[in-house]
Amino acid sequence: MNLLHWKYQRWNRWLGFGAAVCILLLTIYLSNLLVNQLKTEEQKKVENIVKALELQSLDQEISDKTQQLTLKITQDNNTIPLILIDEDGAFVHQKNLDHLENLFETDSTYLHNYLKNRITQSPIEVELPFGNQYIYYQNSSLLTQLQFYPALIVLILLLFTLFTIWYFRTLNNTQKSYLWAGMAKETAHQIGTPLSSLLGWTELLKMEEVDPEIIVEMEEDLERLKQIAERFSKIGSVPDLQPTDLVQVCENTYLYLQKRISSHVQFDLHTKPESAMIMGNEQLLSWVLENLVRNAVDAMQNRGRIQIILEENSTKYRIYVIDNGPGIPKSMQKRIFEPGYTTKKRGWGLGLSLAKRIIKEYHSGKIVVSKSEKNLGTTFKLEFQKL
């Protein structure tokens, strides 16, 4: 995955995020629109109750049908809590608040506090022949619940979105892991045939008048190729873990790479504990260190300084691979361990992904970018539990 492709994917993610935000805003808007419509309907219902009360109190006679209609309007309200107060602020009647009627009648302070703190709607005046009264009303329980509906919908959508992202990311990572493991095994298989042939040619060269030092170096490199093939063949399989000394792993990797990286790179090793035993696989751990060092050399364009530092505390061993290269942008630090992600023109973006798999899954350890600053270098940290 090159940088251009990554930027394209990043824009797609932002477009997807924008679409999700628009859906959420539309949901909230429509929900609020429904709530406001219900508020208006309940206000009209209360206004009709006021008109019915005013008709019932008229001095002139009204028809039986009108009387029945006004009674039906006042009695059919079984949802909206109402409190009727006279001109002096005294309690007259309530509807749908039966459990509080005794308090309203006996405790005027409680009544006034209730009207002040619990009633959000403006009172409606009832014009009666013997004096005006006022109806205070609350939202119905249904409307109160619906007011929280937009937040509930947002929460449900958010949880659903998070679950969907988690599920597809897990599925995608699993598929990628199988893909890269398969490619690693196939690479090991393809290396095996020419490697066997080269070993045979090395034996023939020993019979010729060839400088023995050259043959020794060739054998070392062939042995290294053999180890690389074995490492790749173990990706995707459960490795054989044995008591392993991290000091020995660091020293062997350092000695091998010291001869094979640019002379313009200052390469140092510092191991503070004399022994650092863990349950591990030496070949895979060495491959991780080698991969980190070679990535650092490439980033520094074969000029700079690299350090491998092994430290310990009461429960863990830590290995730091430090370079003074160009650093890794913060926006990329979380993605560099993803399979297929690379900023190089060449390569599969496989190295750091496999390194994380080896450290985290096989050795129950941790590998992170501990520190990285522009033009000041990068520090990778590896953590292992003590044996």
Q: Which residues share a beta bridge with 308?
A: 269, 321
Q: Which residues share a beta bridge with 242?
A: 280
Task: Give residue 293's pLDDT.
Answer: 94
Between the two ends of the chain, the Cα-to-Cα distance in Å is: 38
Task: Give residue 84's pLDDT.
Answer: 92
Task: Give residue 267's pLDDT.
Answer: 96
| Amino acid at the residue 202 | T
pLDDT at position 195 over 80: no
Q: Which residues share a beta bridge with 103?
A: none
Over residues 65-75, mean pLDDT: 84
More confident site: 228 or 105? 105
State how far the Cα of 298 lies from the Cα of 304, in Å rounded to an integer: 10
DSSP secondary structure letter of residue 98: G
Look at residues 293, 286, 310 and name the one whose alpha carbon lies nearest to residue 382.
Answer: 310
Look at residues 29, 75, 88, 25 and name the one whose alpha carbon lies nearest to residue 48.
Answer: 75
Pairing verdict, β 82-85 and 242-245: unpaired
Task: Give residue 66's pLDDT.
Answer: 82
More confident site: 207 or 345? 207
Per residue in 3-26, pLDDT tens? 555 555 567 667 777 777 787 788
DSSP secondary structure letter of residue 122: P
Extract long-range pairs of 51-56: CB within 8 Å, 24+ residues apart: 53/126, 53/128, 54/126, 54/127, 54/128
Per residue in 196-213, pLDDT tens? 777 777 777 777 777 778
pLDDT at position 303 over 80: yes
Q: Which residues share a beta bridge with 277?
A: 245
DSSP secondary structure letter of residue 342: -
307: CB partners within 8 A, 6+ apart: 267, 268, 269, 270, 320, 321, 322, 323
pLDDT at position 43 over 90: no
pLDDT at position 78 over 80: yes
Task: Give residue 242's pLDDT.
Answer: 92
Task: Give residue 344's pLDDT.
Answer: 59
Over residues 311-316, mean pLDDT: 93
**Which of 12-21, 63-72, 309-318 is most confident?**
309-318
Specify whether the CB–CB gap between 384 and 245 falls below 8 A.
no
More confident site: 143 or 86? 86
State how far the Cα of 317 lies from the Cα of 138, in Å rounded to an integer: 65
Task: Give residue 304's pLDDT.
Answer: 95
Per residue in 137-193, pLDDT tens? 988 887 777 777 777 777 877 787 788 777 777 766 666 666 666 666 666 666 766
Over residues 335-364, mean pLDDT: 75
More confident site: 89 or 2? 89
3-state secondary structure of 188: helix
Please tell me whether the overall predicted TM-score, pTM, comes out greater than 0.75 for this model: no
Burial-class residue 235 by CB neighbours within 10 Å (0-12, 13-18, 19+): buried
Sorting pLDDT into bands at 50, 70 and 90, what band is 231? low
Task: Give residue 1's pLDDT.
Answer: 47
Task: Give residue 386's pLDDT.
Answer: 93
C-alpha dist (Å) from residue 306 to 243, 264, 278, 291, 370: 28, 11, 24, 13, 15
Q: Which residues share a beta bridge with 321?
A: 308, 380
Look at residues 169, 83, 192 and name the one whose alpha carbon lies nearest to residue 133.
Answer: 83
Task: Give residue 349's pLDDT.
Answer: 54
Per residue in 99-152, pLDDT tens? 999 999 999 899 999 998 888 888 999 888 778 899 999 888 877 777 777 777
Sorting pLDDT into bands at 50, 70 and 90, what band is 277? very high
Phi, psi of 238 (to 5 degrees): -75, 115
12: CB partners within 8 A, 6+ apart: none
Pairing verdict, β 277-280 and 242-245: antiparallel
Specify whether the CB–CB gap between 338 and 353 falls below 8 A.
yes
Residue whose token pair is 């493991």: 181
